[in-house]
Chains A and B, each alone.
Chain A
Amino acid sequence: MKKIIIALILSITGVGLVGAGGKQEQSTEKKEPVKIAFWIPGSDKVSEDYFLQAAKEFSTRTPNIQVEVTILPPAAPDVNTKLNAAKLSNTYPDVFSSFIVFIGARGTRGEFADLSPFIEKWSDKDDFYPSSFELGKYKGKIYGISYFPAPEILVYRKDFFKEAGLDPERPPRTWEELEAYALKLVKRDANGNVIRAGLDIPAINPEVFIKPFLWQNGAAVLDEEKELPTLDDPKALEAFQYVKRLIDAKISIPFDYQKKSDIPFVKGNAAMSFIMASTITSTLKSNPSLREIIGFAPPIEKRKKVPFTGHRLFTIGATSKYKNEAWEFIQFMLSKEQMLKRSRLLDMPIVRKSLEQEYFKDGDAEFKKVVVEYSQLGKSAEVTTVTAISNKYLAEAYQAIYSGKKSPEQALKDAQEGILKDIKK
C-alpha cells in the first residue's frame, strides 16, 4: 500500500522533478553559485535589515554561495504554519533561525540536521558559552546553536514607584515583595476598574509567564529525561497558589502574552512587567525618554532564581542538499565580527567569552548587565517531543485558575492527567 501511494505521489510530481533535475544539471555545467535559503522570524525593521545585509555581505565574500533570506512572521504559530507547508512541499530552508520551542517540537522529530560533526571540527567552539550548544541538544545530538538569548526581564516604572511611596532604586527581589509591591502600585478608577496594573498578568498564552514561578519554587512542567509531566508535585501547586493569589488581587489588566504590542506596560498602563529584552529595546528605541524612568529588577527568587530565557538558534534543515554551505554561513553569522555588530545594532547579547569586554564597553551597560544575568540564570522551553502537549495543558490549567473555574489543585490534577492521556494516545 505504501509503495502504491509513493508511486502515485512520484507520478504526480514527476514533471516537477524532471524540471528540477534539468536545472541541477545545468547549474553543474555552468558552475553557478549554490543558493541556500535562510529563514528567520521577523521582529523589527532594524533587525530585519541587519540580517538581509549580513546575508548580502556573506554572499559577496563567498561568491560560490548565495544566501536568499526570507523574513517570516514573528509569532511562533505563524512560523509553525510556514514550516509545515515547507515540510510538506519539500522546500524546507537550508538554514533556519529557530525558536527553542521548535528544537523540541521539530528537532526531536528529525527536521533539523545534527550539527555535532561540524561543531567537533570547529576551532572556535571553545570560545562559546557551553549553554549555546547544550540548549539545542536532544539525546546526544546538537540540533541548534544558540546565538541570541532572549530573557524575560522584570521591568518597572520608577515614576510609578515614587508615586506609590516605594524606593525606585529598590525593585522587588522575592515572591513576597513582588506581591506587596504590585498591591501598592495598582491604580483603580472610581468604579474599581484597574486603570494601571501593579503587575502585568496575562490572561491568554501564559506559558512564558507561569513557568518561571514553577521553576523558582523547584518544580517543573515535565521530567525532560522521561518526557512525562510533573505537575502533581506539591511545589508546582504552591507556585500555582501564589499566582492565583496575584490574580485574585485584581492588580492587572488582561492581555494576550503573544501580542507584544498589547502588553499594558508597553502601552504605559502597568508599573511592573516581565518583558522580553528585545521588546524593551524596541520600546526604548521608539521612545528614548522612557529610559530614565524604566528600571530593571534582578531575577525574582523563591527557592531559586530562575527567569524565563528564550533563545534563537541556528539550525540546518535535515533535508538540505547544501549542509556544508549552510554551515559556512552559520559560522559567518557566529563570527566575532557579526556577533559584535548584532550587539551594537540590535542590543543582542553575546554568546562568545572573548567578546565580554567589548560587549560592555559601549551602550547601555546597566541593561546589558541585567540581560547577561537573566540569560545566565534563565531556563528555556523544554526540549522534548511532548512540549507542545504539555504547554497546551499548562495554559489550560492557568486559564482555569485565572477565570476561577477551577482551584489550583483541580487545575493541576486535570492538566497532569490530560498530558498523560494525550501522550498515550
Chain B
Amino acid sequence: MRNIHPIAYVLILPFYMFLFFFILVPIGMNIFLSFTNYDLIQWDFVGWKNYRYLFQDSHFHISLRNTSLYAFFTVGFSMVLGLGAALLLKGNPPGIKIYRISFYIPYIASMVAVSMIWLWIYDPMDGIANKILNLFGIPSKQWLYDSQYALSCIIVMSVWKVLGYNMIVFLTGLQAIPPYLYEAATIDGANSIQKFLKITLPMLQPITFFLFVTGVINSFKVFEQVAILTAGGPSNATTTVVHQIYNRAFNEFAMGYAAAMSIALLLVIAFITLFNYRYGNQGADLEIG
C-alpha cells in the first residue's frame, strides 16, 4: 500500500465536504422524503405509495416519453452536427476563429436569454421561422403552440445551443490524432471515407463516449427551456420529468411524490450511464504507439 501524506487528505477534504453536503445529503433527504407525504407543512410515512402512483400517473409517463425523445434527438443531432462542424474547421479555413466563437457563443449564453430569442424566432405572427417559410410559399406554422411541432422546436433550439460545445471538444480530439496515421493510410491506398471510418471515428471514441454520457445526463435534466418556451404544453406535448417534478413540488406542494419522481429519474440516468460504461466504452484506450 502506498504511503500517502496526511496533507493530501486535507487538500481533498473541501471537495469531499462539498460532495457530502451538496450531493449525498440531498440525495439521502430526497430518498427519505419520497416515502412521505410531505407538503411543506407536515409529513407522515406513506411507505411505497408514491412509487406505486408513478405507475398510474399518466403525466409521469408522458414526461418520460418526451424526455427520452428529447434526449435521443438532442444528443444525436448535436453530436453528428458537432462532429461535422469540427471536421469542416479542422483544416484551418480562413476566419476559423470567427467560426469557433460564433458556434460557441450560444453555449455560454444563459438558457433564459437564448429561450427568449427563440420565442421571438418561433412567434407565429412576427417570427423569422414563419417569414422564411412564407418566402417559399409555405403557410405559417404555430410552432410552440402546436403539439405536433412544439417538442421539435425545443430540440432544435437545444441542439443549436450545445452544438458549439460539441464542436470544440471534437475539434480538440481531431487535432490530437497523430497525422502519421493518415499518412500511413494514404500510402496503403485508403480513401477519405475509409480514413474517416477506420482512423478518425475509432480515435475519437473516448471523446464521443464522454460527450454522449454527459449529453444524455444533461438532456434528462431539461427544464428551463421547457418552462420558458411552452410551460410543458400544448397538451403536455413538451412536459419533461423535471418539469413534472417542479409542478408537483412547487405548484401542488406534493413534495413527497415529487421526491419519488426525482429518485426514479436518478435511477433512469444511473442505469443509462452504467449501460453506456458497460457497452459503450469498448476500446476506449486505443494503443497507437
Q: Which residues of A contact B (CB under 8 A)?
A: 77, 80-81, 84, 87-88, 105, 109-110, 191-193, 195, 203-205, 253-256, 258, 262, 264, 267, 269, 388-389, 392, 395-396, 399-400, 402-403, 405, 418, 421-422, 425
Selected from B125, B234, B247, the residue in CB contact (under 8 A) with A399 is B234
9 interchain pairs, CB-CB under 8 A: A84-B250, A105-B251, A110-B41, A193-B140, A203-B145, A205-B233, A269-B125, A418-B58, A422-B252
Kindly state whether residue B257 has any CB partner on chain A within 8 Å. yes
Chain B nearest CB, measured from A393 CB (Å): 10
Chain A residue at minimal CB-CB distance from B233: A204
Cα separation A421 to B247 with both chains bound (whole Å) = 17
Chain B nearest CB, measured from A86 CB (Å): 11
Chain A nearest CB, measured from B238 CB (Å): 10
B235 pairs with A191, CB closer than 8 A: no
Residues of A within 8 A of B53 (CB): 425
From known contacts A109-B39, A191-B139, A254-B145, infer whether A204 and B234 are also in contact, taking CB-CB under 8 Å: yes
Chain A residue at minimal CB-CB distance from B43: A2
Chain A nearest CB, measured from B31 CB (Å): 14
Cα separation A177 to B115 with both chains bound (whole Å) = 39
Cα separation A389 to B230 with both chains bound (whole Å) = 19
- Count chain B residues whose beta carbon lies closer than 8 angstroms to a beta carbon of A: 33
Q: List 8 additional contacts besides A88-B40, A193-B134, A399-B147; criterion CB under 8 Å.
A: A204-B145, A254-B145, A264-B125, A269-B125, A399-B234, A399-B235, A418-B58, A425-B257
From known contacts A109-B41, A256-B231, infer whether A193 and B139 are also in contact, taking CB-CB under 8 Å: yes
B251 pairs with A203, CB closer than 8 A: no
Chain B residue at minimal CB-CB distance from A191: B139
> Which 9 A/B pairs are nearest by Cβ-Cβ distance?
A254-B145, A203-B145, A399-B235, A399-B234, A193-B140, A403-B147, A204-B233, A191-B139, A400-B235
Chain B nearest CB, measured from A140 CB (Å): 20
Residues of A within 8 A of B123 (CB): 262
Kindly state whether residue B146 has any CB partner on chain A within 8 Å. yes
Selected from B125, B134, B227, the residue in CB contact (under 8 A) with A253 is B125
Residues of A within 8 A of B247 (CB): 392
Per-residue CB proximity of B109-124 to A under 8 Å, as 1/0? 0000000000000011
Cα separation A400 to B231 with both chains bound (whole Å) = 15
Kindly state whether residue B182 has any CB partner on chain A within 8 Å. no
Selected from A80, A84, A403, the residue in CB contact (under 8 A) with B146 is A403
Chain A nearest CB, measured from B261 CB (Å): 12
A109 pairs with B147, CB closer than 8 A: no
B125 pairs with A191, CB closer than 8 A: no
A192 pairs with B139, CB closer than 8 A: yes
Cα separation A191 to B39 with both chains bound (whole Å) = 52
Cα separation A87 to B255 with both chains bound (whole Å) = 14
Chain A nearest CB, measured from B99 CB (Å): 34
From known contacts A80-B251, A253-B124, infer whether A258 and B234 are also in contact, taking CB-CB under 8 Å: no
Residues of A within 8 A of B237 (CB): 403
Residues of A within 8 A of B124 (CB): 253-254
Residues of A within 8 A of B236 (CB): 396, 399
Residues of B within 8 A of A105 (CB): 251, 253
A258 pairs with B235, CB closer than 8 A: no
Residues of A within 8 A of B273 (CB): none
Residues of B within 8 A of A399 (CB): 147, 233-236
Residues of B within 8 A of A255 (CB): 145
Chain A nearest CB, measured from B139 CB (Å): 5
Cα separation A193 to B143 with both chains bound (whole Å) = 14
Among B39, B134, B253: residue with most chain A CB under 10 A: B253
Residues of A within 8 A of B134 (CB): 191, 193
